[in-house]
Structure 1
Amino acid sequence: MDPHPLTGQQFASPVPPGTGWPGDPATPDTPVADTEQEVSRLAEEVGDMPELDARISVCRACPRLVAWRETVATRQRRASFADQPYWGRPVPSFGDPEASVLVIGLAPAANGANRTGRMFTGDRSGDWLFAALHRAGFASLPTAVASGDGLVLTGLRITAPVRCAPPANKPTTEEKRICSHWLDRDLELAEPHLRSMLALGLIGWDATLRAARRLGWQVPKPKPKFGHGAETTLLTPAGRPVRLLGSYHVSQQNTFTGKLTREMFDAVVARL
């Protein structure tokens, strides 16, 4: 049992649903998906964002990802976080349930969101992302330390095509397909309010375009090419336009090398 860094409450890792972890959307009665068929069914029948987040947060449909996220949470913690509990579960979306802007990442980091239980929270990528969102007026704070730190997003929601931390940051094709049912439903529930989306990296860009096609949105042909600052317009089944923008991912590989600068990222975020 380890204390939460903000509340001091004691938690086992991985954190059981409904035990008081700040921001945990699930309860002991939340249905658990153990197969792709169950992921599809549980995603399709959900009626609102909070319940979708709850079901995502207890999913166990990908055995390799379940084993890895829980191994990191219990036996392979980073030394600097050894005294903290790890979430060790799938990470739900985070932000305004009626957002007009979506940010689509890739997957949780093993010692970032897999530890804190919140998208892009607790690592250098999150430091970059939330600082930019704060400068643009979307985030109440420029930092994201842990769930329960008071950070609130207004008009924006962060989601991802893969919800569990993958080994070597590389989910398999099958894992991405299984998790795509959650992303599809996330987009469906967001669509009535949605104005624009920001895909972080090529994987987020491609995952968003595939989800849009599966949902019957009109996607330009040939497939829009990804690049930093790329932009295309998708049409919902009702014919309403939704802009999709691309940015290099806020990974340390990009930000430390200067491939992505603060000015470059702010310029794309400003267009949302």
Structure 2
Amino acid sequence: MGWIDEVFDGVRYGLEGTVVAEQDSAFQKVTIIDSQRYGKGLLLDGCWMTAERQERHYHEAIVHPALCSAERIERVLVIGGGDGGTARECLRHAGVQHLDLVEIDGLVVEWSQQYLPSIGGGCWSDPRFHLTVGDGIAWAANAPEASYDVVIVDGSDPAGPAEGLFNRAFFEHCRRILRPGGVFATQSESPEAFRQVHIDTVKLIREVFGHADPLYGWVPMYPSGWWSWTFAATDGRRYLQPDPARAAAVDCGCEIWSPRWQRGAFDAVPAAIERELG
């Protein structure tokens, strides 16, 4: 038992635990740890990604504002998300008929299934779930126009294999492949630890879609503990208003998300960031 730390910008974010497995994949160093406080967890290149008793803070926040507000939710695309948590939350919605998950690193999928089975839950065996181990950026570029109702980008920080998930061409393809009434969602970093990346990401999505709104919450194991997800849609800010029937079908199974929590999270824009976003 020892300390496992993510070191970022002069600050350490650590858990007391043990390393269960560690290997360099073709893309990054993948680490599985076991901790007393948050259970088993995943790091990529030494950065915290998820843990059994933290993941709901992240996965509920990125999924339900989108899935509860898109006009239709038959076809969903998740780019990244190899731990399965985002797919699991999407598939709680009965209206989802087909979910494509495109994860670049097969080792992340393999070890998430082996060591973190509770995070993906039943998604791996759900007949609506379709896994592709490959490049999500290329997938978005090659997908037919208006082919998805919801596009969710569940990537890591903008470095290494996830770097291309934070640029204009990629966001433009995400908009192109959305159907009318479709909703786009992406994790958009910490407004404290990654302040400029966060601001630049929200501004860029606003340029591409004409509007976008960040939602603020917390993932205590991440740098600063304070996190954001940004939403846009093809036809206005529909993600601000969850459909009551869809929300009622899932919120009783949520630990963090509810329509009330969502309202507060969209309203929780810090004053200085609100000024910078204009």
Q: TM-score, normalised by structure 1?
A: 0.30
Q: Which has the higher strand share?
A: 2
